[in-house]
Structure 1
Amino acid sequence: MSAPAAQLSRPALLYCLAALAAAAGLLAGDLPVGLSLLGAGCIVWRLLIHRGRLAFPGRAVKALLVAASCAGIAAAYRSGLSLDVYVALLMAGLSLKSLELYHTASAQRFLYIALLALMAFLLYRQDFAATLLALLQVHLIVAALAAVHADPHQLARQPLAPLRTAATTLGLALPLLVFLFVVMPRLPPLWSLPLHKPEARIGMGEDMSPGDFSRPARSAELAFRAGFPGGIPPAATLYWRGTVLDTFDGRRWSNACDCHYRWANTGTPPRPAGTPAYSIVLEPHEHRWIFTLDRARLADGRIAGNGEHLFRYRQALFERISYDVWTEPGAPPPMLTPAERERYLRLPVRGNARALALGRSWRRDGASADAIVEQALRLYHQSFVYTLEPPLLGDDSVDGFLFETRRGFCEHFAGAFVFLMRAAGIPARVVMGYQGGQRNLQERYVTVRQYDAHAWAEIWRDDSGWWRVDPTAVVAPERVERGFAELFPDSPAFATLLGRRVSGRQSLLGLLRIKLDHLDYLVGRWILGYDNDRRQSLLQRLRLDTVWGLLSVFTGGLGLTLAGFLLWLRRRDRERPRTDPLTIRYRRLCQLYGTLGWPRAPTETPMGFARRMGAAGAPEAAGFGELSARYAGWLYAGAPDEGERKALLRTMRQLLARLRRRAIAHRIKRWLAGE
């Protein structure tokens, strides 16, 4: 006779729905708000089903919900397929799957999907706070799995027991996790997919079009952190170079010089002497840019350099990385070839006639390059205004900015300055990167955010090479000396979920954020900085760089873990009241009948349960009825007979063996049926 499928207990259902709520909360900031509403609606619907106020959705309703979810996702991601689309589909499937939670098997599949959703969350966030949230979510999912497979009656009496079980399970896995982190080699990713994230920048992009936008995007998103063991340099010197724009078509500056450079791996010897000047933990930005200060030198096999202190990662960055930077003092200036000189002097044939005439007039006057630069900076200083809300410019954007609006931000100043220098016969280019950052003088590191993005100019001097000129520092010196956050303290870029600011005005929450920020930097620096070189160095110091050494540590660690677990079990058993082995085996018999579909009620006596099993035609019902009568007689006897007790133990062991075989066959049958 086929046993009916057991219904999911109420505590187990609540654990599963809590896992769904946590998954929806983790991904709420990275997915459309409609998916969060879908998850909340499915949770409420399933709770109403449990209370008997609604029924499970039929096939037609399920099909309608799936179609509506797919249509909503397609409308939210019109730009095409990306990893975000698949994550959104995964989250929608997890939410809708909650409406099918009824049996143990369905709950188990649901929780496996929740683990996939957690992995998707880590694609968006890799900071310390995200790691803590992910660990809490893992703990909740493991606790839900324990609740799904727990005895319903015991779970009703101890609803928090799955949380303790999950904590024990994860604690036992922790030593293995640490061991694998220490000894496993670091492998590059096999594949990567872009995330569809809207640009949240003030100027750091593939190109630059001053005049096309009257209001730039502003974001407090983290760009990178840089730690300075020897102390942080002054804020006015923190120019973080990323890329160079050398081509101007009349409105847009773009990069065409990367293809002309000869990129060489920076990891080739010799390695720079001494300790690094600073170390950077760079956030993923979906480009290959590596940010450094002037005169930088790297020794990293993942990074290539061009000989002019520009660096590129081996592929687009979709993960956090860490790298060390040395300062290269007294480096000889590179030579500018005739082709390069022509490229850095090139201007469009048409357009911006007044700016072109102004630059050429400076050249006709016979002034030196330094005098021309001073004349251009004097022009900026006299009548230009720094603002994040400049007016739009027409087709001749440089003329419109220099002679009409005279209002803009770093892109306007740098682009127009380079145009004037080229018109005056001075090779020049635009440099994109970041300037400044929030300095933590006590802990000696700088936090650079997206609103610190900046553009400046470089001109060529035959005696010293490329020379940085920042016109923005002439118009708004406070932007360079104090930073963007101090210049615009009321910008919405600084608002956060906690209602605090990321600028210099500190409240209690602001101080807490600084401490968490520092902890995130330290953890990220240590974990990301633990590369193959450091791994090999550590293993050599510990004399574990051989196979036998690793096997000995692994075996010893595994033995210590098992010994600790056995000691914990022994202590737990000592603290618990002793239960007679006969009662323990009888409870196991009842659990096996529960697995087969006939759970015992908490108030049911042994004889009452046996009579119900006989009436239901349960397997081995006759033998179980006789055994239950003997067990009840032994249990309630005034002076229990030891011989009867030993005979009952033998009978119970035989019945347990037969029921275990039936339970295994029952599970296989349900698995083949897809239940």
Structure 2
Amino acid sequence: MASRPAKPPPSLEHAAIPWLLAVAFATAAPHAAHLPLWITLLVGSAFLWRGWLWQQNGRMPPRWLLALLVFFGSAGIAWQFHTLFGRDAGVALLVFFMALKPMEMRTRRDAMVVIMLGFFLLLTHYFYSQSIPTGIWLLASTTLLTAALIRLHGGPQPVGAILRYAGLLLAQAIPFMLIVFLLFPRISGPLWGLPQDAYSGLTGLSDKMSPGSLNNLIQSGAIAFRVQFSGDPPKQSQLYWRGPVLNDYDGQTWRGQTNTLQRPSQTPVIEARGKTYSYVTTLEPHNQRWLLALDLPVSLPDGSAFSPTFETRIREPLVSRGRYAFTSTVDFVVNRQETPGLLKQALHLPPGFNPLSRELANEWRSEFKSPEQISIAALRFFRQEAFFYTLQPPLLGEHAVDEFLFTTRRGFCEHFASAYVFLMRAAGVPSRVVTGYQGGEINPVDGYLTVRQSDAHAWAEIWLAEQGWVRVDPTAAIAPSRIEQGINAALPSGDPLPALVRIDTNWLRTLRNRWEAANNAWNQWVLGYNPERQRDVLSRLGLSEPDWRNMTAALATLCGITLLIVTLWTLKRRKVLTPAQCAWQRFCFRLKRVGIVRADWEGPLAFAARVAREHPEFGVLTSKAAGHFADLHYGTGRPEQLQQLKQCTRSLAHLAKRQPSSRRNRN
């Protein structure tokens, strides 16, 4: 028996191509923000070329030309990224292939490749951004992808009807999405981060400080962390958020210690003399091992410990947003007794630098008998001389402290803290630089205290017998408004600050607060839905021991119940077909088998007229069937017309067999 010839794949409708081009563009366009310019231009040119070919009904480029484009494009990506693997190179290849695939799109199978590639390409956007706008764009793109599937298999329909149908399908998936989100076992760490890319683009404090190093950080309006207090927060002037402590000085740069986590026996002795504050910080990733805590914490999060200089450190660098619970006091005495080695280190100065500052410190040391009086003399010097607080200080040379104290006298917190600690050490008072943040702003929408990079600050600590380490902020002697009201109140109007910090219009501030509160909720409950938060939520919902077995059982049960509810809802909305409608649908199904598809929105007479124009060999029979159905459906027909409609279906089967094979196989 001779084998039947293979049926050619269904060809692609000309009117469906714009849907697929829109899908390709929507899924690839956001990547233009991080792709090299030449790749973006190449991809954009490919989309424009394909759109022009569709409009002109032109011929597709030959396969040899596409092969050359693939070869040279892949080679260019390999040259740009020095590899074809990894996040950036892989995404660039996917975007490039998405731009070229429409160039060979001739059948429905090719169209399905574009749609599936679009779904996959959507996932890659979370490698770069997990913000609310990204989520909204991806939701809109998913709707467009679903609509393209409907258009591809459902034939011509009004655009609004296709989009509504796609939205309805996605709305039915929302309950399943919520159930899976709540119950699917979470994993620790960033879901969308790759190891080789986890450390890129992270900003914040550094473990070293030289003149001007905090300048760029202070000019950033990015959020460093948010704080949720369990009660009323401390006053603005008490909000010192302790970060890296800098002990080593080489004449130009202050550097922190490389100590790892502290042994329990070295835990500092902290005497709280006032109220304690409990709070949770949500810290943005900074690729370092320190946490930001209100100075000074008396209770640390699990997995953290004090360093010898009272930094709160964790074992691994922070490369994803984290939540940490603290209890702190702002009135304390710490380490009345200190190790000799640490005190010796807090007195070290490199020889040969800043002779004028050393001379001034020696004068104070001879004149005053106690470290407290020396510190008071230094602060009085800052207040009485003509120092200016500014983010635009002049550059300093080899003897940076001398030039700042006696020549330029213009600087910001790091200049004052560095000069103060140098003077103290030169006068024999153990001291060190502390960096972190000072202040913050309560968002009235959600009640969180927002601390920005522009709140970055540097201050000093000196060690006094029987008093331990005491905070001294030289900036407060020059610009007290910086500590009491924030950096915006302390700087001249011409100094650069981010627009988010300079906002002084009520409606703009309200708009900013609402947007940041929405972002915070997104971060806390969507991106920050980690294993700990999942256990907490499920415990509140009644799962006392939410391990993976209980969560899997609950997931299966709830998904089954939801599926049953959606099925019953769908069946309830399903219309009961009349015998005439059933007969008409069987006739249309027969026509579909020979490649003639009726759109859902086409009436019987309009469909018959189109068939007569485009397929005259079926026009007469379709007109008869459509006429019988129209009479029966609209109540003017005779009972025998139902049998005549069914006879049209049988006649159509015989007519289709007599058509050439090419006609039977066409779309």
CA distance in 1, matches of 2:260, 2:396: 31
Residues 457-489 of structure 1 show CA distances to partners (whole Å, capped at 9, x for unaligned) of 222234333322222222222222222334366
Which position in structure 1 is the counterpart of 2:535?
536
Residues 147-177 of structure 1 show CA distances to partners (whole Å, capped at 9, x for unaligned) of 4x43232xxx222344334323333332233
Asked if structure 1 preserves the Cα contact closer than 8 Å seen for 2:418 and 2:433, the reply is yes
Taking every aligned residue pair, what percent have the same amino acid on both sides? 32
Which position in structure 2 is the counterpart of 1:124?
128
CA distance in 1, matches of 2:629, 2:15: 32
Answer yes or no: is 1:49 the counterpart of 2:53: yes
Which position in structure 2 is the counterpart of 1:431?
434
How many residue pairs were aligned? 625
Cα pair distance change 1:403/1:182, threshold 3 Å: same
Which position in structure 2 is the counterpart of 1:384?
387
CA distance in 2, matches of 1:363, 1:655: 113
Asked if structure 1 preserves the Cα contact closer than 8 Å seen for 2:284 and 2:321, the reply is yes
Answer yes or no: is 1:519 the counterpart of 2:522: no
* 1:406 CA drift (Å): 1.9
Which position in structure 2 is the counterpart of 1:140?
144
Which position in structure 1 is the counterpart of 2:270?
none
Which position in structure 1 is the counterpart of 2:456?
453
Paired residues for 1:466-505 under 5 Å: 466-486=469-489, 487=491, 493-495=497-499, 501-505=500-504
Determine helix, strand or coil for the equivalent of 2:195.
Answer: coil
Higher deviation after alignment, 458-467 or 20-29: 20-29
Cα pair distance change 1:37/1:477, threshold 3 Å: farther
Which position in structure 1 is the counterpart of 2:633?
none
Cα pair distance change 1:130/1:653, threshold 3 Å: same
Residues 518-566 of structure 1 show CA distances to partners (whole Å, capped at 9, x for unaligned) of 2222343344665544543544454433788656644553344234323
Cα pair distance change 1:437/1:16, threshold 3 Å: farther
CA distance in 2, matches of 1:80, 1:600: 46
Cα pair distance change 1:505/1:490, threshold 3 Å: farther
Cα pair distance change 1:283/1:18, threshold 3 Å: farther
Which position in structure 1 is the counterpart of 2:247?
246
Determine helix, strand or coil for the equivalent of 1:383.
Answer: coil
Amino acid at match of 1:358: L
Which position in structure 2 is the counterpart of 1:363?
365
CA distance in 2, matches of 1:653, 1:370: 106
* 1:6 CA drift (Å): 4.4
List runs of 5+ in structure 1 lacking aligned partners.
267-273, 496-500, 614-624, 667-675
Residues 166-192 of structure 1 show CA distances to partners (whole Å, capped at 9, x for unaligned) of 323333332233223333343223853
Determine helix, strand or coil for the equivalent of 1:125.
Answer: coil
CA distance in 1, matches of 2:515, 2:589: 49
Asked if structure 2 preserves the Cα contact closer than 8 Å seen for 1:459 and 1:467, the reply is yes
Residues 105-151 of structure 1 show CA distances to partners (whole Å, capped at 9, x for unaligned) of 3443334444444333333333444433443333333333444x432
Determine helix, strand or coil for the equivalent of 2:348.
Answer: coil
Residues 576-634 of structure 1 show CA distances to partners (whole Å, capped at 9, x for unaligned) of 9997223323434444554xxx7689655389859589xxxxxxxxxxx9x98997897
* 1:206 CA drift (Å): 3.7
Higher deviation after alignment, 241-250 or 105-114: 105-114
Determine helix, strand or coil for the equivalent of 1:319.
Answer: coil
Amino acid at match of 1:587: C
Cα pair distance change 1:568/1:368, threshold 3 Å: same
CA distance in 1, matches of 2:347, 2:593: 85
Residues 207-249 of structure 1 show CA distances to partners (whole Å, capped at 9, x for unaligned) of 2221589977732222222222422332222222221222222
Which position in structure 2 is the counterpart of 1:169?
169
Amino acid at match of 1:511: T
Amino acid at match of 1:378: R
Determine helix, strand or coil for the equivalent of 2:469.
Answer: strand
Amino acid at match of 1:390: P
* 1:53 CA drift (Å): 7.3
Answer yes or no: is 1:233 the counterpart of 2:234: yes
Determine helix, strand or coil for the equivalent of 2:463.
Answer: strand
Amino acid at match of 2:382: Y
Amino acid at match of 1:520: N
Paired residues for 1:269-280 under 5 Å: 277-280=278-281
CA distance in 1, matches of 2:237, 2:120: 45
Asked if structure 2 preserves the Cα contact closer than 8 Å seen for 1:223 and 1:282, the reply is yes
Which position in structure 1 is the counterpart of 2:611?
605
Answer yes or no: is 1:583 the counterpart of 2:581: no
Which position in structure 2 is the counterpart of 1:194?
197
Determine helix, strand or coil for the equivalent of 2:343.
Answer: helix
CA distance in 2, matches of 1:62, 1:80: 18
Residues 475-525 of structure 1 show CA distances to partners (whole Å, capped at 9, x for unaligned) of 222222222334366666534xxxxx4434125344222112222223433
* 1:655 CA drift (Å): 13
Higher deviation after alignment, 367-376 or 34-43: 34-43
* 1:293 CA drift (Å): 0.9
Asked if structure 2 preserves the Cα contact closer than 8 Å seen for 1:216 and 1:388, the reply is no
CA RMSD of aligned residues (A): 4.6
Answer yes or no: is 1:375 the counterpart of 2:382: no
Asked if structure 2 preserves the Cα contact closer than 8 Å seen for 1:245 and 1:255, the reply is yes
CA distance in 2, matches of 1:549, 1:215: 50
Cα pair distance change 1:565/1:238, threshold 3 Å: same
Asked if structure 2 preserves the Cα contact closer than 8 Å seen for 1:214 and 1:390, the reply is no
Cα pair distance change 1:143/1:255, threshold 3 Å: farther
CA distance in 1, matches of 2:158, 2:578: 17
Determine helix, strand or coil for the equivalent of 1:605.
Answer: helix
CA distance in 2, matches of 1:480, 1:318: 30
Amino acid at match of 1:223: A
Which position in structure 1 is the counterpart of 2:334?
333
Asked if structure 2 preserves the Cα contact closer than 8 Å seen for 1:386 and 1:476, the reply is yes
TM-score of the two chains, using structure 1 as the length reference: 0.77
Higher deviation after alignment, 363-372 or 543-552: 543-552
CA distance in 2, matches of 1:510, 1:393: 37
Which position in structure 2 is the counterpart of 1:413?
416
CA distance in 2, matches of 1:608, 1:180: 48
Asked if structure 1 preserves the Cα contact closer than 8 Å seen for 2:242 and 2:434, the reply is yes
Residues 234-287 of structure 1 show CA distances to partners (whole Å, capped at 9, x for unaligned) of 2222222221222222222222243474489x9xxxxxxx99722222222233
CA distance in 2, matches of 1:650, 1:580: 16
Which position in structure 2 is the counterpart of 1:670?
none
CA distance in 2, matches of 1:260, 1:227: 26
CA distance in 2, matches of 1:568, 1:224: 45
* 1:342 CA drift (Å): 2.3
Asked if structure 2 preserves the Cα contact closer than 8 Å seen for 1:281 and 1:524, the reply is no
Amino acid at match of 2:453: Q
CA distance in 2, matches of 1:276, 1:576: 69
Asked if structure 2 preserves the Cα contact closer than 8 Å seen for 1:83 and 1:196, the reply is no
TM-score of the two chains, using structure 2 as the length reference: 0.78
Asked if structure 2 preserves the Cα contact closer than 8 Å seen for 1:212 and 1:393, the reply is no
Determine helix, strand or coil for the equivalent of 2:285.
Answer: coil
Asked if structure 1 preserves the Cα contact closer than 8 Å seen for 2:445 and 2:517, the reply is no
Counterpart pick for 2:112 among 108, 112, 121: 108
Determine helix, strand or coil for the equivalent of 1:277.
Answer: strand
Asked if structure 2 preserves the Cα contact closer than 8 Å seen for 1:215 and 1:388, the reply is no
Cα pair distance change 1:240/1:299, threshold 3 Å: closer
Which position in structure 2 is the counterpart of 1:344?
346
Asked if structure 2 preserves the Cα contact closer than 8 Å seen for 1:345 and 1:427, the reply is yes
Cα pair distance change 1:582/1:643, threshold 3 Å: closer
CA distance in 1, matches of 2:82, 2:468: 47
Amino acid at match of 2:175: P
Cα pair distance change 1:479/1:552, threshold 3 Å: same
CA distance in 1, matches of 2:536, 2:276: 16
* 1:326 CA drift (Å): 1.8
Asked if structure 1 preserves the Cα contact closer than 8 Å seen for 2:262 and 2:306, the reply is no
CA distance in 2, matches of 1:259, 1:127: 34
Amino acid at match of 1:508: W
* 1:103 CA drift (Å): 3.8
Asked if structure 2 preserves the Cα contact closer than 8 Å seen for 1:94 and 1:113, the reply is yes
* 1:394 CA drift (Å): 1.6
Which position in structure 2 is the counterpart of 1:673?
none
Amino acid at match of 1:406: R
